[in-house]
Amino acid sequence: MIKAFPKFPLILLIVLTVSCGPDESMAPGNKVLVSDDLFLSRSAGELRTYISAGPVDIDASKLIYDVDMYKVTYHTNYKGETVTASGLVILPNTTDPIGMVSFQHGTITADDEAPTNLALSNTQAVLYAGMASLGFIGVVPDFIGFGSSADVMHPYYVESLTASSITDNFRAARELAINKGVTFNSRLFLAGYSQGGYATMATHKSIEENGLDGFNLIASFPAAGGYDVKAMQEYFFGLDTYSNPYYMAYVAQAYKTTFDFEQPLNEFFQEPYASRIPSLFDGTLSSGDINVQLTTSVAGLIQPELILNIDTDTKYGYLKDAFIENSLVDWVPTITMFMYHGDADVTVPFENSVITYNKLINNGASPEVVKLIAIAGGTHSTGVVPYVEDFIPKMLSLK
């Protein structure tokens, strides 16, 4: 068990100045990388100062490399077509061979929240830069549906598209590193919180099942994700009220769009909410903006017939199957995976990680490979800081 801090958010540092300038990279050897734009540089000394001043208890002396942060675009697949996705790649200034860490962000709905669209004064940039200053190529995907691919619906909690777009970001990062003279030693680490936890586990699963040439996954650190999507649906349907109804609407709209469901949303949701939902996920509204357009009453939001009969009526079979097929419980991890979750989390319930962990162990995974770490007293928001404080030293020990 690790100690939870009750009030500290993830955004802990202060960006004071930035340096930016275009640097389009179209080297002949590129296969997925389309462009890169250097927009932020930081010295190791600056990063040590910023992080030491924040409430996260990590050893700032481990930040030893100056870094350059790039916005990149790269090719990936979306529903059988090639699209141009985007993300951040942060390169340390070193000639030593180094590994790579990809950090998957939590749920966003507004495009201006995407990592590549954050204001230059936003402090998340320093947090991401700090990971690279530890001696890693840092990767932070926007995810399909944000940044340069904002014209398509984000495939929220869709396993295959989540994993493939992230692994293509790795390939783009490796190409950029080659172009800039940074040597990647093939060692890969994955981390992420909330939806980022799901994305991290989906990517880990994809790499184990399909391989990834030139990358050697060492460990992943998924946190607070709704890995068992079917169990999440059952959790939601069993509640009287839920303070973030946009999650349910988000999954429904994403699945309808991604899997081309012919059924109208009013088969899932009551009016006036069913008619509102498609326009709520156009990339202009925050989660709070969307929540106020819905209702926190589960019985008032979801069609009662769906709540009662999703598991027994064949008319809902397509939806039930989609939840099951995108749940990350049908595999046997063989590469180290540390699962973190606050044991007081009711947004994405701690029990979902327990269910997922137990299913993976029952599938044949070793408890020495898959480890569930409970963050004592951690809620969905307060669990972030102790997670960061714990996974970074573990990652460094495996570097």
pLDDT tens digits along 271-300: 999 999 999 999 999 999 999 999 999 999
Q: Which CATH architecture has domain 229-325?
A: Orthogonal Bundle (1.10)
Q: CA angle, 66 as apex, 88 and 147 as ends, to 5°?
A: 10
Among residues of the chain, what percentage have pLDDT more than 90? 87
- Which alpha helices (DSSP H) does 238-372 contain, by range? 246-258, 273-280, 287-291, 298-301, 304-309, 317-325, 350-363
Beta strand 21-22 with 33-42 is antiparallel
- Please check the confidence at residue 10 and state whether its pLDDT lies above 60: no
- Please check the confidence at residue 94 and state whether its pLDDT lies above 60: yes
How far is residue 353 from each of residues 206, 220, 239, 313, measured CA to CA in Å?
19, 15, 18, 28
Nearest alpha carbon to residue 221 among 394, 63, 344: 394
Residue 120: predicted pLDDT? 61
Domain range annotation of the chain:
2-227+331-397, 229-325
Average of per-residue pLDDT across 138-152: 98
The model's pTM: 0.92
- Please check the confidence at residue 8 and state whether its pLDDT lies above 50: no
Residue 121: predicted pLDDT? 56
Q: Which two tokens stand for residue 264?
A: 């109208």
Higher pLDDT, 301 or 8: 301
Residue 40: predicted pLDDT? 87
Ranges 18-27, 315-324, 343-352, 374-383: which has the least confidence: 18-27
Q: Look at the domain 2-227+331-397 and name its fold.
A: Rossmann fold (3.40.50)
Residue 234: predicted pLDDT? 98
Question: For the segment 187-239, what is each residue's pLDDT rounded down to a tens digit?
Answer: 999 999 999 999 999 999 999 999 999 999 999 999 999 999 999 999 999 99
CA distance 334 to 205: 10
